[in-house]
Amino acid sequence: MEARSAALEAAQDAAAHPDDEDALAALRLQLKKLLAEDDSLAQELARLLEQARTAGQTVIASGDRSVAIGGNVSGSVIVAGDKNTVQTGKYNVSSARPAG
């Protein structure tokens, strides 16, 4: 029971301070302990992670000129903004909109 209260506290700390590497490390350690102690929990978590992986992703771009990526875009050029010119091979492609 003590391990669970420590894990709960670590989870609360990590949620309150998501950029704190120490809080995240403490949460990882507590999760390792919980999963090592509870085989059925480890199996259920593995099942849920696999289910989420096969279900796909939902990606939302919010705000002006935002970009959402829901897969692998390695080797791609992503351009956001106004009046950009991108050179591809010997051609320049302008994204400027005509006035009016």
* pLDDT by residue, tens only, the chain of 100 residues: 466 889 999 999 999 998 999 999 999 999 999 999 999 999 999 988 888 776 666 677 888 878 888 777 787 878 887 777 777 777 767 666 655 5
Is 56 within a domain? Answer: yes
Is 53 within a domain? Answer: yes
Number of structural domains, the chain? 1
Is 48 within a domain? Answer: yes
Residue 90 is predicted with a pLDDT of 77
| Sequence letter at residue 39 | D
Structural domain containing residue 13: 1-63
Question: ∠21-72-80 over CA atoms, to 5°?
Answer: 85
Is 78 within a domain? Answer: no
Distance CA 99, CA 19 (A): 44
Count of beta carbons in the 10 Å neighbourhood of residue 85: 10
Residue 31 is predicted with a pLDDT of 93
Question: ∠54-58-60 over CA atoms, to 5°?
Answer: 160
| Sequence letter at residue 59 | V
Residue 40 is predicted with a pLDDT of 93
Residue 97 is predicted with a pLDDT of 60
Instruction: Write the CB contacts of 11 (distance below 8 Å, at least 6 apart in sequence).
Output: 27, 30
